């Protein structure tokens, strides 16, 4: 990787430098406004700023751009943004940026990439399959966001903003879609002014689709593995009684039925989209969310803002955990989650050399496992093949309290100093009982873990001229520690430490050719301490423990992106090159027979106990690349726009052991999406295809099971705006 990484880095740097030098040598006159790229705004730092003059590595897509690129859920973002991978493993998603995020679905471990919807942090890793509809924009920030997003944003943060009501008049749209696999989707929205100071917006989405899979065998409870039935509705109300007061209320509900998530063993001889099963199948997520965003501007220009969130979710799972039609391994699960949050901000005016933001944050997240709901059948061990049922009930509350602030000061008309910090106190409680009545076993856990953390960022920003912006910063991020859950491995669960990252980063952003071309170039070097990993117990692989890597884990790389508009031609490109190395850490691979003790620091090295130091981080591709091109043909009566998007994600590893013989290697994937749009007046007709080449690929591997990526989909979509 080293030599190719340096060569590629040099080539990209020369490309970007050449563009900038050409711009300075031969200035281009200002292009007509229609051919100039619009300003891209970001709100992640609690005030609205221009992305090209903000010291963050980020990618932003508008709602229209999401639709044009075929991005209709959070999983598909990985095919449109550099450094992003998303592993769909049923009802849990593992969103990773620069190889950091979440690799296993467990309520015990936090995420490394936190997702916000309309200003509030949503459920971590779960309940994220709700579709994109009536979206204003999606901002993906790369690298630790310790000041504003706080802990559990060591890899980055995602900010999803849905469209707000306005007083401009009655307006809206309706979209109907039909595609292969009997995919039927209807969505729409209507904006309703209710006077000069009040407006409402109602949006909805409904989709049904057949399964991508052929099912061999009969699920014991019927079920429809892989079939989709989702319905969502959202209501918004905006009140602006004066130019100083703004109150926005949003509430939404989603029921997402996936029919049961199909899986098969890594070693299965069956085609990827064929499964054999004798187990139950069901997978239903039900969520509701209410967000109240209120602000008041004082006479001196300072803004006071309050953001309140209340979210409720219920998930129900029925699955065949061994993915075969022979063994009786099944899983029945239901849990409830409630997440309440409150944030207050004081924001200075944008004018003047000194700008600041201060805030306070509180969050209470409680997961409840009802009695007799979480049940799995499994072997005691390979040596003692007794099949038993394991029950889990109890609660897992987590509390976060934080204060934060950031100050920006203009040292000159070109040089700006930024400093931000956040203090966080987190508490997690495990109050649960795990029991196996057949074995006469019952273990109770009543543990509490508390932790304090300080994160933040110091940046130096330099505006070279009105076309070039340079920045460099050091940032610190933190992922909270916690408690391993109760188990029947006869080993008392132990807490795991918080994970810390120090990020050294520098970047250059340019606006060239009279506003027709924007470029972003950045490099980063991350050092992680107490890196958190999940490893299954060697004698009971279905029971996982979260451990800390003892040595320093390092991840570094380069990212480059550009957007251009040249008359009727539009394009966007993104590239990331990265290298990751786990710190020294001896670990026992649970898929191999135990061959003695395995101390994390000393080993000793055996066939089972191996030092994973130097291995790459899981789901951390060395290269991602995306390219989108479109061209507008003026037909007189309308506009015809063909568009094609290409995405490459290089090989990745599914576990820290990086053992291809055991199925750890995930092959590279090259995905092509295409769309043809005819637009005339208020009508828009689109023919689309995602995964045009019908590439079969393993999207993720969890607990020895493989999850297949979506096959080729195609269809037509008709939109009427009013």
CB-based contacts of 638, cutoff 8 Å, min separation 6: 678, 679, 680, 681
The C-alpha atoms of residue 293 and residue 519 are separated, in whole angstroms, by 33
Sequence ranges of the domains in the chain: 2-582+617-721
Instruction: Report the C-alpha gap between 51 and 689 in whole angstroms.
Output: 31
> Tokens standing for 639?
């506009």
How far is 201 from 171, CA to CA, in rounded Å?
9
Question: Closest Cα partner for 541 from 497, 489, 608, 613?
Answer: 489
Question: How far is the CA of 628 from the CAs of 19, 294, 391, in angstroms?
Answer: 19, 38, 49
Q: How far apart are CA 620 and CA 97, in angstroms?
A: 8
Alpha carbon distance 684, 284 (integer Å): 33
- Say if residue 604 is preceded by a cis peptide, omega within 30 of 0: yes
Distance, CA of 223 to CA of 221 (rounded, Å): 6
For residue 517, the model assigns a pLDDT of 96
pLDDT in tens, 460-505: 999 999 999 999 999 999 988 888 776 655 555 678 888 899 999 9
pTM for the whole structure: 0.88
User: Which is it for strands 713-721 and 683-690: parallel, antiparallel or unpaired?
Assistant: antiparallel
Quick check: helix, strand or coil at residue 256?
strand
Which residues have C-beta within 8 Å of that of residue 378, sequence separation ≥ 6? 321, 329, 387, 388, 390, 540, 542
Of the CA atoms within 13 Å of residue 88, those in its CB half-sphere come to 22
Report the distance separating Cα 154 and Cα 649, nearest Å: 22
> For residue 180, what are the contacts with CB-CB under 8 A and spacing of at least 6?
712, 713, 714, 715
Q: What is the CA radius of gyration of the chain?
A: 26
* Contact predicate 561/59, CB 8 Å: yes
| CATH code for the domain defined by 2-582+617-721 | 2.40.170.20
Instruction: Tell me which H or E stretch contains 15.
Output: helix 2-25
pLDDT at residue 14, rounded to an integer: 34
> What is 576-624 written as a DSSP string?
EEEEEEPPS-EEE-TTS---S--BTTTB---SSEEE-TTPPPTT--SEE
Instruction: Give the three-class secondary structure for 22.
Output: helix
For residue 433 the two structure tokens come to 């009982």
Choose among 498, 507, 641: nearest CA to 561.
507
Nearest partner of 98 among 112, 86, 84, 111, judged by Cα: 84
Cβ–Cβ under 8 Å, residues 262 and 275: yes
Instruction: Write the pLDDT tens digit of every residue in 59-104.
Output: 999 998 998 888 888 888 888 888 988 877 666 677 889 988 765 5
Flag residues of the chain having pLDDT under 70. Answer: 1-34, 89-92, 102-109, 125, 218-223, 372-374, 376-388, 486-493, 536-544, 594
Residue 538: its pLDDT value, please?
Answer: 44
């Amino acid at each position: 990787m080293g030599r190719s990484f340096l060569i590629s880095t040099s080539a990209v740097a020369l490309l970007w430098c050449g563009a900038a030098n050409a711009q300075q040598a031969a200035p281009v006159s200002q292009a007509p406004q229609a051919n100039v790229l619009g300003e891209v705004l970001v709100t992640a730092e609690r005030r609205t700023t221009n992305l090209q003059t903000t010291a963050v590595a980020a990618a932003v897509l508008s709602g229209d751009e999401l639709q044009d690129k075929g991005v209709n859920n959070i999983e598909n973002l990985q095919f449109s943004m550099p450094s992003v991978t998303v592993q769909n493993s049923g009802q849990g998603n593992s969103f990773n940026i620069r190889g950091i995020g979440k690799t296993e679905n467990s309520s015990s471990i936090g995420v490394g990439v936190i997702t916000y919807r309309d200003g509030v942090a949503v459920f971590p890793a779960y309940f994220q399959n709700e579709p994109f509809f009536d979206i204003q924009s999606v901002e993906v920030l790369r690298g630790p966001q310790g000041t504003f997003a706080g802990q559990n944003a060591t890899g980055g943060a995602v900010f999803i903003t849905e469209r707000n009501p306005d007083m401009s008049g009655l307006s809206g749209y309706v979209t109907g879609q039909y595609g292969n696999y009997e995919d039927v989707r209807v969505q729409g929205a209507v904006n309703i002014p209710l006077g000069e100071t009040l407006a409402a917006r109602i949006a909805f989405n409904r989709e049904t689709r057949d399964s991508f899979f052929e099912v061999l065998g009969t699920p014991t409870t019927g079920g429809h593995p892989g079939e989709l039935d989702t319905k969502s509705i959202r209501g918004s109300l905006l009140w602006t009684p004066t130019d100083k007061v703004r109150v926005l209320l949003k509430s939404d509900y989603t029921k997402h039925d996936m029919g049961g998530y199909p899986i098969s063993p890594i070693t299965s001889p069956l085609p990827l989209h064929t499964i054999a099963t004798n187990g139950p199948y069901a997978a239903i997520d039900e969520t509701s969310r209410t967000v109240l965003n209120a602000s008041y501007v004082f006479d001196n220009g300072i803004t006071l803002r309050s953001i309140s969130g209340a979210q409720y979710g219920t998930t129900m799972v029925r699955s065949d955990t061994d993915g075969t039609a022979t063994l009786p391994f099944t899983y029945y699960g239901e849990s409830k989650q409630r997440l309440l949050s409150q944030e207050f901000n004081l924001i200075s005016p944008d004018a003047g050399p000194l700008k600041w933001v201060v805030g306070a944050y509180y969050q209470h997240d409680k997961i409840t496992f009802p009695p007799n709901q979480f049940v799995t059948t499994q072997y005691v061990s390979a040596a003692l093949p007794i099949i038993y049922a394991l029950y889990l009930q109890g609660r897992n509350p987590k509390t976060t309290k934080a204060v934060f602030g950031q100050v920006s000061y203009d040292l000159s008309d070109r040089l700006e100093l930024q400093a931000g910090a956040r203090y966080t106190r987190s508490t997690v409680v495990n109050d649960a009982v795990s029991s196996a009545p057949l074995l006469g076993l019952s273990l109770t856990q009543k543990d509490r873990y508390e932790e304090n953390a300080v994160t933040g960022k110091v940046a130096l920003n330099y505006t070279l001229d009105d076309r070039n912006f340079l920045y460099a910063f050091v940032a610190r991020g933190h992922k909270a520690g916690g408690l391993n859950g109760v188990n029947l491995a006869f080993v008392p669960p132990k807490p795991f430490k918080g994970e810390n990252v120090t990020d050294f980063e520098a970047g250059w952003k340019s606006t060239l050719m009279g506003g027709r071309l924007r470029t972003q170039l950045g490099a980063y070097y991350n050092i992680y301490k107490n890196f958190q990993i999940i490893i299954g117990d060697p004698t009971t692989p279905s029971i996982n423990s979260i451990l800390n890597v003892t040595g320093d884990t390092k991840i570094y790389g380069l990212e480059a992106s550009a957007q251009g508009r040249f008359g009727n031609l539009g394009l966007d490109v993104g590239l990331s090159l990265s290298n990751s190395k786990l710190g020294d850490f001896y670990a026992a691979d649970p898929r191999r027979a135990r061959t003695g003790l395995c101390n994390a620091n000393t080993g000793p090295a055996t066939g089972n106990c191996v030092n994973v130091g130097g291995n790459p981080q899981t789901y951390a591709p060395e290269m991602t690349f995306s390219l989108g091109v479109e061209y507008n043909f003026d037909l007189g009566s309308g506009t015809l726009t063909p568009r094609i998007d290409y995405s490459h994600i290089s090989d990745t590893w599914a576990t820290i052991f990086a053992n291809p013989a055991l199925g750890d290697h995930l092959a590279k994937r090259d995905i092509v999406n295409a769309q043809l749009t005819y637009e005339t007046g208020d009508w828009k007709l689109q023919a689309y295809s995602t995964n045009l080449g019908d590439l079969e690929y393993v999207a993720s591997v969890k607990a020895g099971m493989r999850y297949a990526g979506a096959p080729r989909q195609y269809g037509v979509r008709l939109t009427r705006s009013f």
